[in-house]
Amino acid sequence: MITLSRFAKRNAENNRWQTDFYQTQRAHGLQWKYVTAAKFIDEGAKVLDVGCGDGTFLKYLKDTKNCDCVGLDYSKEAVKLARAKGLEVFLFDVDAGCFPLAKNEFDYCTCIDVLEHILYPLHALEKIRDVSARAVIGYSNPCWYRYRLRFLLGTIPKGGPWREGVHLWFWNINDLNNLLKAAGWKPIKYEYLPGVPFVQRFSRCVAEKICRLMPSLFGYGIIVLCNRSGI
């Protein structure tokens, strides 16, 4: 049984950002990354979502797959919004210390668009490995072709990770794979959100094939299913 006190003992205030994202930004709602990540998760599984935000993904898992869901987030506002959805969510900074959770307490641990925001992503992945044998990791690719073109032309890309000021890490897909492996994870399946110029306007299927051939160049978004190494 997970209780609030287990997290209250280890929780630390996160002062990294002066303004809370969830007090200044509108919720993005259900996105490709959530629907895609959910495909990797079994019906009725017990899921821990690290960096759960306002609980949109966990609510989707609960409603569509009857999952037993628990979320963690450093933001008080995010936790408040997630709890308003009827979710079991706790205030916790993943950089602050070890998870107050039992080994293998969950079937899956999900971490969608979180690793690039935290100080110690390798340590976070190691902590996740302790509480679950399977992980679903999401990442927005900063090496997408359109970003590369803008840099080539001498401009900083608008939006994305470049102007928000909240991304601490920038990896291509090989870097991400190396990070996962260093933390004791074995990537076994990938899904990409294709960002292929012109082609995807006429054929999503062809765009997806091109993206799989050159994911670092044309994969706008990435979802990776991993097993704990040795499984």
Q: Give residue-wise pLDDT tens across range 160-216.
A: 565 555 778 888 889 999 999 999 999 999 999 988 988 878 888 898 899 999 999
**The pLDDT of residue 178:** 94
pTM score:
0.84
| CATH assignment at residue 112 | 3.40.50.150
User: Which structural domain range is residue 67 located in?
Assistant: 4-228
Task: Between 79 and 6, name the one with better pLDDT.
Answer: 79
**The pLDDT of residue 22:** 54
Half-sphere exposure of 56 (CA within 13 A, CB side): 15
pLDDT at 9 over 80: no
The model's pLDDT over 110-143, given as tens digits with 9 standing for 90+, comes to 999 999 888 899 999 999 999 999 999 999 898 8
Distance separating alpha carbons of residues 45 and 105, to the nearest angstrom: 11
Task: Between 174 and 9, name the one with better pLDDT.
Answer: 174
Structure tokens of 174?
Answer: 């090989």
Q: How many domains does the chain have?
A: 1
Distance separating alpha carbons of residues 187 and 27, to the nearest angstrom: 30
Dihedral-angle region of residue 55 (phi above 0 means left; psi in -120 to 50 means alpha; beta otherwise): left
Count the Cβ atoms, other than its own, within 10 Å of residue 85.
Answer: 15
Alpha helices of 112-213 — where are they, by DSSP H?
Answer: 121-131, 145-152, 173-182, 199-202, 204-213
Distance separating alpha carbons of residues 226 and 231, to the nearest angstrom: 10
What SS3 class is residue 21?
A: helix
